[in-house]
Amino acid sequence: MIDPSMIRPGIALNDFLTIFVSSALVLVFGGFYVGIYTAVKVKLLKPWTMLFAYMFWVLTAYCLYLMGSLMHVGEFTAKALVVAAIGLFLLPFAVYYMQNQVHEENEH
Amino acid sequence: MASNHLTGIGSESKQLATWYFTFAAILFGAQLLFGLVAAIQYVMPGFLYGILDFSIARIIHINALVVWMVFAMFGSVYWLLPDETGIETVGIKIGKLLFWIFALAIVIVVLVFLFIQVGPASDTTIWFITEGREYIEAPRWADWGIVVVALGFVGNLFLTGMKGKQTGIVTVLMADMIAFAGLYLAGMFFTDNISVDQYWWWWVIHLWVEATWEVFVGAIAAYGLIKMIGAHRQVVEMWLWIEVAMLFGSGILGLGHHYFWIGTPEYWWEIGALFSALEPLPLVAMFVHVLYDWGKTQGAEMAKEHTDEYQAKSVITNKPAFTWFVLNAFGNFLGAGVWGFFHTLPQVNLYTHGTQFTAAHGHLAFFGAYATILVGMFYIAVQGTNGIKVLKSTKLSIWSTSLITGGMLVMTVALTIAGYVQVLVSRAQMGATWAGYFDGQSGVWFAQAMDWRLIAGVVVFTGFILLAIDLLTTGKNPVHKR
């Protein structure tokens, strides 16, 4: 017999799989976003494919929201996740811009 | 023979590097072998009963992993120093002496682990047999030996860096290796309070690995990209500084995710959650970096030849090493990033902590983030010591890479499934009780996952044998361009 007080009600049993899959997809979709963005910028992909990059970022943000909701994160963690989503959005812009500037300065 | 820093022939530093790489490869084999034994014992508990205890196989598996990587890291630094500084490594004779001391100490420690598997918890045990602290079980005499060897190595690095050319890569390595040697000290003392003790212990386990090792990987990746695809040094080094800032920015306080359940104050929940959420960002940025450098240099080649990417001459001068470097970018992202992120927030870590999820993350992260790039360095050394201009992939290198990587992925998925069973049964349904622990491990899904883990282990070990053969023979293969 299991002591009922030992059972933690924080996360519903059926939500675990969704949490794990959505949190894994956060980075998978995030990787696609960053990868496509960079590939378009260095001309490995056609410019119109950039649309897919932004779609992947939207999916990333949705997965973060889903994961956070099902985990019942606190207010602070929710804000941290929003910061992470915005950080991921800006990251390729910032890194690419800086790399490109250095490249231009040294090549031309 | 005249010194030739480009090829490695005649450079004493590079010769020492090959010693380090060779011993690292031997320990890599030992790590996999003892991992295989432990995996068999999980499935057949009677295997080697009374001869080799599971706890010892596990200790050697994990410690050999750490030590082979340290050997390969030292080797990598000795390899790149002449290229980066333009001079021979200062104090190379001391470096060689320290290599033999280090190697001998490791052999003695492993033999003692094997011959004295049980004993009293006494000062003698701590000094001469094992300290008994998880992941850093080496006895105290060996701990001090490691510190002396590390300081000697740091001395070689600093004296060479200060005397020769100071590139960004060498400067980052100099700073990083100070932290590398210093943080190890945090695991060398005990306190009576287990929470305080664990607090410091994590400085070695987390900070050592997620800060100093990751920065080291960034420096090696920078060196590799310059050597293999002719990436622009200023671009690569600028990236390296960004990575250092991001890794230290997120990695140091990301330590908080280890402080959730050890008795530290609750504010670590918030700190751990915030910085752990940011920890994957440098790994994602690394992705941009490799793609950017390869895209730019390959793109320039295509533009020069007015062809497309399929017809243009490849800018890669060492295909097997570059393959391992690319696997590093993906593996770091998957193992440390994806598998780390999905159980890093405290709300879910409450359920996953100490389950096979951790093992899945540990296996893929160590393989993806470190083993890959160090194997890449083995190939760079093979190219250099054999005077090869363009090292091509061979059937053996392709097979070994595929088997090792495929095996690791299957192993990770198997361990993840086992961890998921534990989360649902042992934690969520049965509330982390004694009965829950055993119920979680006796289910069909858990047992089958362990079978798959073993099969994947055999595949990885087979891949390692092929890798060793390739590393030993490919240098003489006429297929490469000299």
Q: What are the pLDDT digits (tens) for B442-474? A: 889 999 999 999 999 999 999 999 999 999 999
- Domain spans of chain B? 1-166, 317-482
Nearest chain A residue to B283 by CA distance is A31
The alpha carbon of residue A56 and the mean position of all alpha carbons in its chain are separated, in whole angstroms, by 9
Chain A closest-CA separation from residue B365 CA (Å)? 14
Name the residue among A27, A76, A80 with its Cβ closest to that of B337: A27
* Residue in B234, B295, B420 closest to A106 by CB: B234
CA atoms of A100 and B2, how far apart (whole Å): 39
May I ask the CATH class of domain B1-166?
A: mainly alpha
Going from N- to C-terminal start, the domains of chain A cover 19-107
Task: Please report, for residues B117, B229, B446, the alpha-carbon distance to residue B44 in angstroms, rounded to integers and kept in the order given.
Answer: 20, 48, 14
**Chain A residues closer than 8 Å to B432 by CB:** 6
Contact call for A27 and B235, based on CB within 8 A? no
Q: Is the pLDDT of residue B286 over 70?
A: no
Q: Mutate one of B226, B243, B281, B413 to test the A interface: name it (highest A CB count within 10 A).
A: B281
Other C-beta atoms lying within 10 Å of the C-beta of residue B351: 22
Q: Please tell me the predicted confidence (pLDDT) of residue A11.
A: 84
Chain A residues in contact with B431 by the CB 8 A cut-off are 2-3, 6-8
Q: Give me the residue from A7, A38, A87 closest to B281, CB to CB.
A: A87
- Global confidence as pTM: 0.90
CB pairs under 8 A between A and B: 152
Q: What integer pLDDT is reported at residue A106 of this predicted model?
A: 66
Rounded to whole angstroms, how far apart are CA atoms B296 and A55? 25
Of the partner residues A7, A27, A91, the one whose CB lies closest to the CB of residue B431:
A7
B14-B101-B136 Cα angle (round to 5): 105
Is B348 an interface residue toward A (CB < 8 Å)?
yes
CA atoms within 13 A on the CB side of B13: 26
The alpha carbon of B141 is separated from its chain's Cα centroid by a whole number of angstroms, namely 24
Better-scored residue on pLDDT, B90 or B300: B90
Q: How far apart are CA B311 and CA A105, in angstroms?
A: 30
pLDDT at B469: 97
B239 vs A contacts (CB less than 8 Å): 95, 99
Which residues make Cβ contacts (< 8 Å) with residue B460, sequence separation at least 6? B32, B403, B404, B407, B408, B411
State the best of A1, A42, A86 to mutate against chain B, taking most chain B CBs within 10 Å.
Answer: A42
- Please say if the pLDDT value at position B284 is more than 70: no
Selected residue with higher pLDDT from B319 and A44: B319
Which is more confident, B346 or B278? B346
Check pLDDT > 80 for residue B188.
Answer: yes
Mean pLDDT of B148-175: 92
Architecture, CATH, for domain B317-482: Up-down Bundle (1.20)
Average pLDDT of chain B?
88
pLDDT band for position B2 (cuts 50, 70, 90): very low
Q: Find residues 42-101 of chain A whose CB sits inside 8 Å of chain B.
A: 42-44, 71-73, 76-77, 80-81, 83-84, 87-88, 91-92, 95-96, 98-99
Q: Averaged over B29-44, what is the pLDDT?
A: 96
Residue whose tokens read 């695991």: B187
Contact B342 A20 (CB under 8 A): yes
Percent of chain B with pLDDT strictly greater than 90 = 55
Q: Give the other-Cβ count within 10 Å of B24's Cβ.
A: 24
Distance in angstroms (rounded) separating the CA atoms of residues A61 and A65: 6
Q: For an interface test with A, which of B345, B355, B358 has the most A Cβ atoms less than 10 Å from its Cβ?
A: B345
Please tell me if residue B262 touches chain A, with a CB cutoff of 8 Å: no
d(CA B230, CA B223): 10
pLDDT the model gives residue B341: 84
Two domains, one topology: B1-166 and B317-482: yes
